[in-house]
Amino acid sequence: MEILLVIIIGLLYAAGIYMMLRRSLVKLIIGLILLGNGANLLIFLLGKIVKGQPPIIASSEKMLGELYADPVPQALILTAIVISFGLQAFAIILVKRAYKVVKTDDLDEMNATDEDL
């Protein structure tokens, strides 16, 4: 299971970086989304995947001796998902506004000043 997730994380990172290197703002946002999802999966994978083992210590024990799922990476991922939704919404509105003003989504054409035209 872990090897499949490692391959998926690699593909998400590769696709995200590839899309961010394109000249279109829309592709830049899609690349940012893919990169964020790859980072979330990486954090999830680092927290150990254990099925059916909650991190609960019985009252008779002093410490947890068996393998358990760490809840901290899961909480970090939930926070990262909420923050990434806000960032994506802001970026989409920003691209829409930039397209209205400049009439293009090509980054090279947006970089040109009025003197270059």
Out of 24-33, 37-46, 54-63, which region has the weakest mean confidence (pLDDT)? 54-63
* SS3 call for 18: helix
If one counts every other C-beta atom within 10 angstroms of the C-beta of residue 45, the result is 16
Q: Say what the pLDDT of residue 27 is.
A: 92
Compute CA distances 100 → 96, 97, 103, 105, 110, whole Å: 6, 5, 5, 10, 12
Domains and CATH numbers, the chain: 2-51+69-111 (1.10.287.3510)
pLDDT digits (tens, 9 = 90+) for 66-110: 777 777 888 899 999 999 999 999 999 998 998 888 888 887 787
Among 13, 42, 17, 37, smallest CA distance to 27 is for: 17
Examine the pLDDT at 113 and tell me if it is beyond 90. Answer: no
